[in-house]
């Protein structure tokens, strides 16, 4: 029960303050949505990469050692970047 308080605390604050929506709120929501999209894309790319290596292993072909396409081309750990963002 006590864990739900920590999760719901931001919602309590949002509903208890009568301040109107401003530019900072828009920026924070945009950053949050961007981070969710980055994590989703990265997880999808990583799943595809691992699935491909599993199929290559089943057919006895050489495995691809590193994921260096997609968002991993720009960052070594884009998933962590999205989570921290």
Quick check: pTM over 0.85?
A: no
Residues 6+ apart with CB under 8 A from 42: 70, 71, 72, 78, 79, 82
| Residue 80 pLDDT > 80 | yes
Predicted local distance difference test score (pLDDT) of residue 31: 92
d(CA 53, CA 74): 21
User: pLDDT by residue (tens digit) across 1-45?
Assistant: 556 666 777 778 778 888 888 899 899 889 989 999 999 999 999
Domain definitions of the chain by residue range = 20-84
Q: How far apart are the first and last CA of the chain?
A: 28
């Amino acid at each position: 029960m006590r864990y739900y308080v920590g999760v719901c605390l931001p919602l309590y604050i949002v509903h208890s303050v009568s301040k109107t929506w401003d530019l900072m709120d828009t920026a924070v929501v945009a950053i949050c949505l961007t981070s969710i999209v980055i994590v989703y894309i990265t997880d999808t790319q990583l799943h595809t990469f691992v699935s491909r290596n599993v199929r290559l292993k089943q057919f006895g072909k050489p495995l691809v050692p590193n994921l260096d396409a997609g968002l991993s081309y720009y960052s070594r750990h884009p998933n962590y970047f999205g989570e921290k963002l």
